[in-house]
């Protein structure tokens, strides 16, 4: 009888040790899962913070202190002293496109370098390296990233809306101490590898005529403005958000006539708060909210499963205890 009791006691001790091991393992799993949730939360918050940093650095207000005016170009010259590859200042009236323009010996440098010469994921607006820096070519191309919250060329896709295209018609280019007016006459959606379009500094007159004809033939919208080979045209190009090789291009005519900026600060603010100009901001906020809700949902599911597992374990222990008591009786 004593041997039987010892055997049962040994079995009970073994079961108790097994239960302790299982509980210990379960606790470790709980801590690991909680740690993973914490990492996900930290990563999500960091990603949003980092994105806001990129957008903040890319915002037009980041450079407004250097913007040249008709009365004073000293601040712009100071920027050129910081980075001697700054060649111009571009302003598309009524939008947030109001930036310095750079030019390097290739078209890759300013993809991740800002106008001050510092590393930045938003890069800088830059003129094609094949173009003359004085914008004297028949066709000059300025590139820029399509950044959230309408930074850099983040406004250009909004010209898909005919109302926007009809409203924001003019701009200004300051280069080598002189202002030039820009009259936008076409909006194009194209492929990045369309060499008929991305062909800067065309010299031959016949090729220039063919270029203009092709550009207008593929345009989404165009204005009835007489543009000839004697004009200088300017293409503002950025990446499309819905196609890997897609490009949005706003095309203007560069001339000596200076157009008045009819948009007050209030109107600009209203325009950029309008739904057509705030989709990217809403998208960013939506992603953040969805991320938080998803993490909370997963956390609640985990806590429910954890509670259920513990209840099942307690129920199993009660049953074992009851069976043990019956045997004792």
3-state secondary structure 154-186: CCHHHHHCHHHHHHCCEEEEEECCEEEEEEEEE
Q: Check whether residue 174 and residue 209 sit in a common domain.
A: yes
* Residue 206: pLDDT over 90: yes
Domain assignment present for 62: no
**Whole-angstrom distance, CA of residue 99 vs CA of residue 67:** 8
pTM, rounded to two decimals: 0.71
* Residue 24: pLDDT over 70: no
Q: Check whether residue 120 and residue 216 sit in a common domain.
A: yes
Q: How confident is the model at residue 293 (pLDDT cuts 50, 70, 90)?
A: confident
Q: Check whether residue 33 and residue 118 sit in a common domain.
A: no
Domain assignment present for 219: yes
Q: Output 27 or 286, whichever has higher pLDDT.
A: 27
Q: Residue 254: exposed, middle, or buried by beta-carbon count in 10 A (0-12, 13-18, 19+)? A: buried
Q: Check whether residue 132 and residue 241 sit in a common domain.
A: yes
**3-class SS of residue 326:** helix
Q: Check whether residue 44 and residue 80 sit in a common domain.
A: no
Q: Check whether residue 269 and residue 313 sit in a common domain.
A: no
* Residue 78: pLDDT over 60: yes
Q: Output 315 or 210, whichever has higher pLDDT.
A: 210
- How confident is the model over 216-263, as pLDDT tens digits? 999 999 999 999 999 999 999 999 977 789 999 999 999 999 999 988
**Whole-angstrom distance, CA of residue 185 vs CA of residue 221:** 8
Domain assignment present for 165: yes
* Residue 272: pLDDT over 70: no
Q: Check whether residue 220 and residue 249 sit in a common domain.
A: yes
Domain assignment present for 42: yes
Domain assignment present for 83: yes
Question: How much of the chain exceeds pLDDT 90, in percent?
Answer: 51
Mean pLDDT of 185-205: 94
Q: How confident is the model at residue 307 (pLDDT cuts 50, 70, 90)?
A: confident
Catalytic residues: 145, 239
Domain assignment present for 59: no
Q: What is the pLDDT of residue 282?
A: 47
Q: How confident is the model at residue 149 (pLDDT cuts 50, 70, 90)?
A: confident
Question: How much of the chain exceeds pLDDT 70, in percent?
Answer: 69
Last residue of a domain, one of 234, 261, 277: 277
Cβ–Cβ < 8 Å for 251, 225: no
Q: How many domains does the chain have?
A: 2
**Whole-angstrom distance, CA of residue 80 vs CA of residue 108:** 20
Domain residues for 153? Answer: 69-277
Our CA dihedral for 67, 68, 72, 77, rounded to 10 degrees, sits at 90
Mean pLDDT of 161-167: 95
Q: What is the pLDDT of residue 287?
A: 61
- Which of 13-17, 133-137, 239-243 is most confident? 133-137
Q: Check whether residue 122 and residue 238 sit in a common domain.
A: yes
**Could you tell me the CATH number of the domain that includes residue 196?**
2.40.260.10
* Residue 196: pLDDT over 90: yes
Mean pLDDT of 77-93: 96
Q: Check whether residue 179 and residue 230 sit in a common domain.
A: yes
Q: Check whether residue 161 and residue 130 sit in a common domain.
A: yes
Q: Check whether residue 117 and residue 84 sit in a common domain.
A: yes
Q: What is the pLDDT of residue 297?
A: 76
* Residue 77: pLDDT over 50: yes
Q: Check whether residue 185 and residue 305 sit in a common domain.
A: no
């Amino acid at each position: 009888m004593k041997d039987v009791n010892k055997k049962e006691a040994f079995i009970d001790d073994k079961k108790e040790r097994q239960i302790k091991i299982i509980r210990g393992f379960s606790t470790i799993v709980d801590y690991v899962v909680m740690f993973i949730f914490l990492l996900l939360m930290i990563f999500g918050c960091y990603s949003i913070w980092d994105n806001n940093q990129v957008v903040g650095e890319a915002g037009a207000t980041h450079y407004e202190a250097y913007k040249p005016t008709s009365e004073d170009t000293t601040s712009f010259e100071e920027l050129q002293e910081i980075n001697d590859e700054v060649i111009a200042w571009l302003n598309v009236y009524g939008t947030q496109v109001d930036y310095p323009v750079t030019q390097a010996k290739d078209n890759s440098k300013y993809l991740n370098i800002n106008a001050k010469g510092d590393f930045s994921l938003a890069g800088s607006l830059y003129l094609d390296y094949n173009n003359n820096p004085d914008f004297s070519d028949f066709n000059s191309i300025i590139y820029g990233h399509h950044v959230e919250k309408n930074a850099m060329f983040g406004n250009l896709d909004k010209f898909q809306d005919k109302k926007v295209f009809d409203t924001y018609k003019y701009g200004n280019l300051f280069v080598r101490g002189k202002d030039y007016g820009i009259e936008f006459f076409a909006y194009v959606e194209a492929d990045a590898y369309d060499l008929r379009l991305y062909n800067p500094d065309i010299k031959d007159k016949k090729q220039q005529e063919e270029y203009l004809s092709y550009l207008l033939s593929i345009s989404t919208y165009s204005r009835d403005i007489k543009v000839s080979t004697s004009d200088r045209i300017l293409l503002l190009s950025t990446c499309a958000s819905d196609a890997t090789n897609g490009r949005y291009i706003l095309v203007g005519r560069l001339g000596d006539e200076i157009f008045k900026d009819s948009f007050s600060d209030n109107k600009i603010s209203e325009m950029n708060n309008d739904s057509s100009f705030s989709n990217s901001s809403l998208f960013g906020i939506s992603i953040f909210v969805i991320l938080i809700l998803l993490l909370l949902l997963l956390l609640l599911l985990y806590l429910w499963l954890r509670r259920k597992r513990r209840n099942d374990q307690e129920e199993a222990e009660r049953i074992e205890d009851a069976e043990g008591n019956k045997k004792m009786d």
